[in-house]
Amino acid sequence: MEQPPIAETPNPCLTCGACCAFFRCSFYWRETEEGGGTVPDQLTENLTEHRKVMRGTDARNPRCIALIGDIGDRVYCAIYDRRSTTCRVFIPSWEKGEPNPDCDRARAAHGLPPLTPSDWESPTESPDSTSTTPPDTVLPAA
Ligand code: SF4
Ligand code: SF4
């Protein structure tokens, strides 16, 4: 899920958050502060000898401890700038021009329809607007 800076293009992740409460978000331990990385240690747990997991995501009903807000309404990642590569490489459906079945699956699990290309289009573009810059995105999987 995503918490971009200011974006002219709509970002459907900010009204979703489903993947942060669906997948186990694990990553190599060196991505944590303890390992010289950025992910806050206190928000992680040991998964294996060499892998960490975001607290809350290794559960029957997962929800990342860093996910703030209400899924399907308004959400953001409390550690957006420090999130793991697992989160960074997760591409929402149609942000890059193609669907992501994992994004669709997470949304479906939370009662949300799959994204469509139109979800990335600004509804009120001015006639002379040339902005087509999509926001960058994220999310977990393990
Ligand atoms: S990547 Fe998909 S499932 Fe995750 S927050 Fe964005 S729209 Fe929702
Ligand atoms: S750390 Fe990753 S899984 Fe957790 S809220 Fe942020 S983007 Fe979602």
pLDDT of 85 higher than 70:
yes
Alpha-helical (H) ranges within 54-142 are: 85-88, 101-109
For ligand 2, atom 3, name the residue with the nearest CA.
20
Among 81-90, 100-109, 131-140, the minimum mean pLDDT is found in 131-140
Q: Name the residue of 11, 64, 90, 103 whose CB sits within 8 Å of the most ligand 1 atoms, as the mutation to test its pocket.
A: 103
Average pLDDT over residues 75-81: 98
Q: What atom in ligand 1 is closest to the CA of residue 91?
A: 1
Higher model confidence: residue 134 or residue 98? 98
Q: What atom in ligand 1 is closest to the CA of residue 115?
A: 7
Q: Residue written as tokens 């308004």?
A: 74
What is the share, in percent, of the chain residues with pLDDT greater than 90? 78
Every domain of the chain and the residues it spans: 12-113
Average pLDDT over residues 109-136: 68
Using pLDDT thresholds of 50, 70 and 90, give the confidence band for residue 117. very high
Q: For residue 96, give the ligand nearest its CA.
A: 1
pLDDT of 142 higher than 90:
no
Q: What is the pLDDT of residues 2-48, one digit of tens each?
A: 555 555 678 999 999 999 999 999 999 999 999 999 999 999 999 99
Q: What is the pLDDT of residue 35?
A: 98
Q: How far is CA 62 from CA 22, 31, 37, in A?
A: 6, 21, 24
Expressed in angstroms and rounded, the spacing between residue 102 Cα and the centre of ligand 1 is 9
pLDDT of 128 higher than 60:
no
Expressed in angstroms and rounded, the spacing between residue 92 Cα and the centre of ligand 1 is 5
Contacts of 133 (CB under 8 A, 6+ apart): 7, 8, 9
